[in-house]
Structure 1
C-alpha cells in the first residue's frame, strides 16, 4: 500500500509558462439524513463546531451570505451562521477556507423542515451535511481524521 494518497490535480497554464494549481483533490465526508431540520439542528451545529475546532478556525475563513456572496468569517459571520442554522425554519450554510479557490476545508449544510410548506416532503427528501478535507490534511494528521469522523458521527 502506498504511503501517500493519490494525487489528482488540475493546473492552469499561463502564457508565460507559469502554472497554478486549479483543482486539488480533497475528501468529502457527507451525511444524508431522512430527518427534519428541527430534529437534527443541535447535533448539526455541534458537528460544525467540532470540525472547526479540529481543523482550526483559520481554515474556515469565508461564508456565503443570504445572497450567495462570500463574506469574511469573523466573529459576526460565525454568529450569523449560528443563528441561520439554529433559529430558522430550515438552514443552509456554506463555510469555506477560501472564497476564490476550489477544494480545501469546507462545510455545507442543507436542512429541510419536512412539515413546512416551503419544503414539501417527498420520498427522497433529506437534510444533508458535508465536510471537506484536503488530502494534505490526511497526510499531515493521519489517523486523527478518525477522531474527527467519530465526533461528527457520534450525534
Structure 2
C-alpha cells in the first residue's frame, strides 16, 4: 500500500511540475496576459555618460585617498563594475566613432586583469586591475565628456 501511495504522489508532483513549466514558458499563456495596469511603473534608466564617469572617478578617488585595504576585493569589484557601466554609457553615447578607442582598450585591459586576478584579496592580482584603472582615470581627466 505504501508503494502505491508513493507512486501516486510522485506522478502527481510530476504532472503539476509539467503544467507549471509549460504554462510559464510563454506561448499562449504569455499572449493572453492582461495588459499592464494604467498606473505608471518606475523603470531604472541607465546612467548618462557624465554620471558613469563621475561614479568611476569617485571610486578611484576613494581608492587613492583611503588606499586599498588588506582585502580590497569589494573596492576593486566596484571599480570594475563602474568601468563596465562606463563602457555601456560610451556605447550609448552619440560621440563620433573612435572617440573612446583608448578608453575601450583600457577597460578591456582592466576587465582582463579582473578575470585573471580573480582573487583580489591577494596583492599580486591588484596591479592587474589598478594599473589600467588608474590609466583610464587619467584618460578621463584628459578627455572630459560633455
Question: What TM-score range do you get, normalising by the shorter chain?
Answer: 0.3 to 0.5
Structure having the larger proportion of residues in helix: 2
Q: Which of structures 1 and 2 has the bigger CA Rg?
A: 2
Choose between structure 1 and 2 for higher RCO, CA contacts under 8 A separated by at least 6 residues: 1
Structure having the larger proportion of residues in strand: 1
